[in-house]
Amino acid sequence: MRPLLPLAVPAGEAVLDLLPTLAQALAGELDHALLPHATGAAPDPALRPGQPLDDGEDDPADPTAVVVATSGSTGTPKGALLPASALRASAAATAARLSPGPGSQQWVLALPGHHVAGLQVLLRSVRAGTDPVVLPAGPFTPEAFVAATAAATGAQLLISLVPTQLVRLLDASPAVDSEPVAALRRYAAVLVGSAATPAPLLARARAAGVRVVTTYGSSETCGGCVYDGRPLDGVRAEVEDGRLVLSGPVVARGYRGLPGHPAFPTGPGHVRAFRTDDTGEVRDGTVRILGRVDDLITTGGLKLAPGLVEEALTGMPGVAEVVVGGAPDPEWGQRVVACVVPSGTPPTLAAVRERVTGVLDRWAAPRQLLVLPELPLRGPGKPDRTRLRALAAQDR
């Protein structure tokens, strides 16, 4: 059996040294599978690095190329088993969707290479036959982004960002012709994912001439597989029992050491399928994500998707970014908590409640407001609602 070997992924330009290995993985030519992890951090022992893949975790005709660690929203470590064919299908569908015209594609890497979004930038670069331009190690800054963009030479530039990074670039750009905006406008597509992108942020970016593409996906689907609400070619989106189910060639074959996991039902004709933890709807082929099942807030006996409250608060005066969660409450079971990064003068709780009740029922209005300098995040750009609950308890 082929072993699962750790692959230390450095930050900065040193990551380019991994491209030949990733090329072999993409082609299914390695005699082992890769377990990417950050350089300086040990791979998760729960994924049994160094040990052979189990029965059903590999296929000689389509080898498992990469196992991407993911904790989902529960914090329980899991490893998505990504076959070489899934990675190739994802890269091909992405290239076809983003820039089907002539000219070389070149990616700029602004995300950690051991997370699926950053790893996909590297794999898509391998497929395109071009080296990506890599931002230096350390915090993301508009200056580093502008310099990396200036160093890119491809005819069609592509990049993946998280919403917070896009906010920083636009906030550093008071004028449409400023350097960060001018750099953003060079890209054929600016993918934004890992967390929901507020509509006002999208409108602001697009008004500045930035070709933003929202993405939805996960480690289990080789990263983003739904762009601007439309599944990539070969991907099917359905809703079953309120949950979004994605199927097609980009889906993982399961989790490391967890055979028969219910997240991976067998689709018709043995098509791989992934049962997400997200609630959503599909209308006329367009996917709308409402929020995670385990993020639903039960307040006063009623269930509330926090994304609906976040949508109501986006664009509100004084609100730059917002995350909504639930915190234990002796009267309501859970109270709705809004965590806001202010823009100028922050809103009051009364103003927040009035804004929400103008769109939703009164019971959905937040009963607590946290004003913070930055959102609590986990991983690359994902809201940390567990941390939000802890902050809410400290604030009472």
Q: 296-395: same fold as 84-218?
A: no
3-state secondary structure of 287: strand
Backbone angles phi, psi at 80, to 5 degrees: -80, 125
Position 85 scores a pLDDT of 97
pLDDT at 73: 47
8-34 per-residue burial string, b: 16 or more CB within 10 A, e: under 16: bbbbeeebbebeeebbbbbebebebbb
Domain extents for the chain? 84-218, 296-395
Q: Pick out the chain residues at pLDDT < 50.
A: 73, 176
Burial class (CB in 10 A: 0-12, 13-18, 19+), 360: middle
Taking only the tens place, the pLDDT of each residue in 59-117 is 999 999 999 998 754 557 899 999 999 999 999 999 999 876 656 889 999 999 999 99
SS3 275: strand
The CATH topology of domain 84-218 is Rossmann fold (3.40.50)
* pLDDT (0 to 100) of residue 174: 61
Query: For residues 325 and 286, is the Cβ–Cβ distance under 8 A?
Result: no
The set of residues, in sequence order, having a beta carbon less than 8 Å from that of 124 and lying 6+ positions away, is: 91, 94, 95, 105, 107, 158
pLDDT of 380: 64
pTM over 0.85: no
- CATH fold group of domain 296-395: GMP Synthetase; Chain A, domain 3 (3.30.300)
Nearest residue to 245 (alpha-carbon basis) of 289, 305, 307, 213? 289
**Most distant pair of Cα atoms in the chain: their distance:** 61
